[in-house]
Amino acid sequence: DAKTTQPPSMDCAEGRAANLPCNHSTISGNEYVYWYRQIHSQGPQYIIHGLKNNETNEMASLIITEDRKSSTLILPHATLRDTAVYYCIVRVAFNNNNDMRFGAGTRLTVKP
Amino acid sequence: DTEVTQTPKHLVMGMTNKKSLKCEQHMGHRAMYWYKQKAKKPPELMFVYSYEKLSINESVPSRFSPECPNSSLLNLHLHALQPEDSALYLCASSQGGGRTLGNTIYFGEGSWLTVV
């Protein structure tokens, strides 16, 4: 699986959009971009994933650049409960070994 | 329903004890995982089971012994652990197996293990 690079920490004001970047310049054509978050002392929570088109669900939007070498997770109206570590992970779409490995992630702090 | 249930939530054990962590899912998933997470670090993959067979062992010491009795259950047997094994142990599951598109993994809340 390709490696990812994320900023170690970010701050965001409550009610504003939080834009979390991720670089994955060595991504392969069959690899998806996944985002998870982990709120303190809880298990990681799935947020969203995509291959090349932008994706949106009730939690967030995922914007993937045309060359697929980077992506941005957008939380449109951040709340204090969105304070967490956010992990960007790329992994093959068809994964016979079913593995997923985490990088260091971005610690997002939403401030009042 | 995307629920993975782990028990116990907290476990304190001595270095000579034998204990087990348990994980259960009823989503029909055929892949199950154990991760270990130390404080302020990302989760580290330990084991993966696919269709009840061990498919990945990330060179984990033998004092950790996984078991998958059936497709819904995953155990992690612990024996002769060291204090540095104290961590959050996360179980996860996914549809898994073979050529599964967009194979999303769902996590439990974890079991906090303290070795004294």
Each residue's pLDDT tens digit, B66-95: 999 998 999 999 999 999 999 999 999 988
CB contact under 8 A, A42 and B109: yes
Write out chain A residues lying below 8 Å of B50, CB-based: 96-98
SS (H, E, C) A21-52: EEECCCCCCCEEEEEEEECCCCCCEEEEEECC
> Which chain B residue has its CA at the smallest distance from A42's CA?
B109
The pLDDT of residue A41 is 82
| Phi (first) and psi of residue B65, to 5 degrees | -130, 110
CB contact under 8 A, A97 and B48: yes
pLDDT per position as a tens digit, B27-72: 988 889 999 999 999 999 999 998 899 988 999 999 999 999 998 9
From the CA of A11, how many Å to the nearest CA of chain B? 18
d(CA B79, CA B116): 13
